[in-house]
Amino acid sequence: MRGLPIWIVLSLVLFSFFSTQCTIGEEIFLEWHVDEDNNIKPISVDQPVITINGKFPGPLLNATTNDNIHVNVFNDMDKYPILITWNGIQLRHNSWQDGVSGTNCAIQPNTNWTYEFQLKDQIGSFFYFPSINYEKAGGGFGPIRVSNRVVVQTPFADPEGDFDLLIGDWYKDSFKVIGDKLAHEGYNKTPNMMLMNGKGSYLDPKAKSNASFKVNQGKTYRLRISNVGSEWSFNFRIENHSMLLVETEGSYTNQIALNSLDVHVGQSYSVLVTADQDAADYYIVATAKMANTTQLRTLEVVGVLHYENSTKPADGPLPNGPDPFDVNFSINQARSIRWNLTTGAARPNPQGSFNVSNVTLSQTFVLQNSVNYENGMMKYAINNVSYATPQTPLKLADYYLNGAGVYELDKFPANGSLREAVYGTFVVSGEHGEWLEIVFKNELHVMDSWHLDGFGFFVVYPKGWTAVYVYLDNPGMWNLRSQKLKSWFLGQELYIRVYDSDPNPAKEHFPPKNLLYCGSVQAPPSAPPPSPEPEPVPGPLAPVPPAPAVPASTITTKTQWFHVIVAIFVILII
């Protein structure tokens, strides 16, 4: 690999932020009721869809940096526990609120639990989704917008309006059937439909409704596009309209004009679109990458950009995109996207760049994806290790039991694949303030995308690799996973424990007062947190459930933020 000739700096992003005073945002209280709805039938098929407050996609979480968010989630589903995770939100010093099986006990049916976290240092577009039991394939996702404080300028004029476009693939089967089959007998179908904001394609006569966005001629709009799917990357474009890329994953980018944009699973982008054409209706198209949509028309979803006073419905041929198999297009586009280091972003006073050419790496992880078959059942692995989800969330095990009996610390094969497949619960570790290098090797002929909760997002092209430097500035237990749902569900997951020996809540928060207990952490400990009478209720549930506990009361955590430095250095090699 060292011999490969082409080194491409995908993005070199550094920012440091020294905050000497604590900035308090607003308190935002939300109440979300999660339920199933069998009547939505987005593709006219009988299947349960997960709604929040009756909506699919779920309601917008709209906030400003520094705001404290309180989301009281009521699980009104009959049988399925849930957890909601905040994709791309860094949850600074607070992995207790991350909402994945390694950090939280699930919210059991007919109970509620309040997430409480502060938004920091990020401005832009994200989404949330349910992280366990394959529920993401049934919905339960929704948009997140984080706005700048008024004192921080945006590098573009205020748009006339904002639209959230949650686009992703969709299965004809119920998420329950898929999760169950994957866990017990195997399931090898891939999703073969696409939805835009929970709606089918404008060109699909069977779709009950389609996504339509109203614009006024001459005005500019911000489209916040996320790939909320399970499997397919897509190419996004709008007939006869150019797009100006301005933001990704909570940071402003150097602005570039695009005719089409590739969005991989889990990614979010903002583009500005000016309604500068004749008053008519125009197609908005998202087409799966690495699929021939001439043969598989259903992997293409079409919506409509509708001008006020338009008299002409969208018709005729769809706008052409790049060849879906042209990986070079995608790589070149990704290479051209860079963070704008001179704009205000979330930082009141950008400190300029930080020179990473002389960083001392504490560890290098070479992570290789693979698929194994075991008695006909598929298992996805990293370095031939498939993650086994324990009954006790790792974060609780770490805090109360020092990991004992739940996970193995630093035994993960960090440099390449094991010859024999292993199924187990491993945690790798790093010290607060250290630098890690992570190399993702993709030996498979598919796109892969990875997410490190609390830090960042990485795409790995087929038969390629991506190296990232991660500055461990965010203590906690952080989930590193394939964003592709099946790969994740079948084992492509690992946790990184970022450790600081100083028990200072400015470095890492204490457990929240309403902490749920489950698995082997049942009794409230005498040490922090002071815990109000939890009543543990045992009883595992299918397919990935930690045992339940009854929720207690909530508190508001106000945090002081000192000295935050984040640096990510991404190199892509083809």
Q: What does the block give as tokens for 153?
A: 């300028």
Of 38, 216, 362, 560, which one interacts with ligand NAG (CB under 6 A)?
A: 216
Select the span of 45-53, 85-93, 175-183, 412-420 touching ligand NAG (CB under 6 A).
Answer: 412-420
Of 155, 348, 529, 536, which one interacts with ligand NAG (CB under 6 A)?
A: 155
Strand order across the beta sheet in which 84-87 lies: 61-64, 142-147, 124-130, 84-87
478 binds ligand NAG (CB under 6 A): no
Total of chain residues touching ligand NAG, rule CB under 6 A = 53
Rounded distance between C-alpha atoms, residue 229 and residue 403, angstroms: 33
In residues, how long is the chain? 574
333 binds ligand NAG (CB under 6 A): no
To which H or E segment does residue 331 belong? helix 327-336
Residues numbered 259-318 forming contacts with ligand NAG, rule: CB under 6 A? 277-278, 280, 282, 292, 294-295, 308-309
Kindly state the smallest distance separating residue 270's Cβ from ligand NAG, in Å.
Answer: 13
Of 19, 53, 64, 190, which one interacts with ligand NAG (CB under 6 A)?
A: 64
Select the span of 186-194, 325-333, 480-488, 531-539 touching ligand NAG (CB under 6 A).
Answer: 325-333
Kindly state the smallest distance separating residue 415's Cβ from ligand NAG, in Å.
Answer: 4
Strand order across the beta sheet in which 193-196 lies: 193-196, 161-170, 220-227, 268-274, 243-248, 251-258
DSSP string, 140-175: --EEEEEEPPTTSPPSSPPPSEEEEEEEEEE-SS-H
Phi and psi torsions of 508, nearest 5°: -145, 135
With residues binned 3-state (H G I as helix, E B as strand, rest as coil), the percentages for the chain, rounded to 5, are 5, 40, 50
Q: Which C-beta is closer to ligand NAG: that of 190 or that of 340?
A: 340
Select the span of 83-91, 118-126, 322-330, 390-398 touching ligand NAG (CB under 6 A).
Answer: 322-330
Cα 427 to the chain's mean position, in Å?
Answer: 20
Kindly state the smallest distance separating residue 55's Cβ from ligand NAG, in Å.
Answer: 14
The pattern of x and - marking residues 371 through 400 that bind ligand NAG according to CB under 6 A reads -x-----------x----------------
Kindly state the smallest distance separating residue 180's Cβ from ligand NAG, in Å.
Answer: 25
254 binds ligand NAG (CB under 6 A): yes
147 binds ligand NAG (CB under 6 A): yes
Of 53, 333, 364, 522, which one interacts with ligand NAG (CB under 6 A)?
A: 364
Q: Which residues pair with 148 in a beta bridge?
A: none
Report the residue number whose CB is nearest to ligand NAG: 551
Kindly state the smallest distance separating residue 501's Cβ from ligand NAG, in Å.
Answer: 22
Of 390, 519, 551, 566, which one interacts with ligand NAG (CB under 6 A)?
A: 551
| SS3 at position 207 | coil
Q: What is the DSSP letter of 521?
A: B
Q: Which C-beta is closer to ligand NAG: that of 177 or that of 359?
A: 359
If phi > 0 it is left, if psi is from -120 to 50 it is alpha, else beta; for residue 165 that is beta
Report the 10 Å Cβ neighbour count for 165: 25
Select the span of 91-99, 120-128, 351-359, 468-476 touching ligand NAG (CB under 6 A).
Answer: 351-359
Kindly state the smallest distance separating residue 412's Cβ from ligand NAG, in Å.
Answer: 13
Rounded distance between C-alpha atoms, residue 278 and residue 274, angstroms: 12
Amino acid residing at 454: G
Of 197, 386, 417, 487, which one interacts with ligand NAG (CB under 6 A)?
A: 417
Of 19, 274, 340, 531, which one interacts with ligand NAG (CB under 6 A)?
A: 340
Cα dihedral 520, 522, 524, 528 sign:
positive
If phi > 0 it is left, if psi is from -120 to 50 it is alpha, else beta; for residue 491 that is left
**Residue recorded with tokens 């280091």:** 341
The separation between the first and the last C-alpha atoms of the chain, rounded to the nearest angstrom, is 10
125 closest CA partner among 284, 267, 301, 304: 267
Of 16, 53, 190, 217, which one interacts with ligand NAG (CB under 6 A)?
A: 217
* Residues of the shown chain interacting with ligand NAG in the complex, contacts defined by CB under 6 A: 60, 62, 64, 72, 112-114, 147, 155, 202, 209-210, 212, 216-217, 240, 254-255, 277-278, 280, 282, 292, 294-295, 308-309, 323, 325-326, 328, 340, 342-343, 355, 357-358, 360, 364, 370, 372, 384, 415-417, 419-421, 514, 551-554
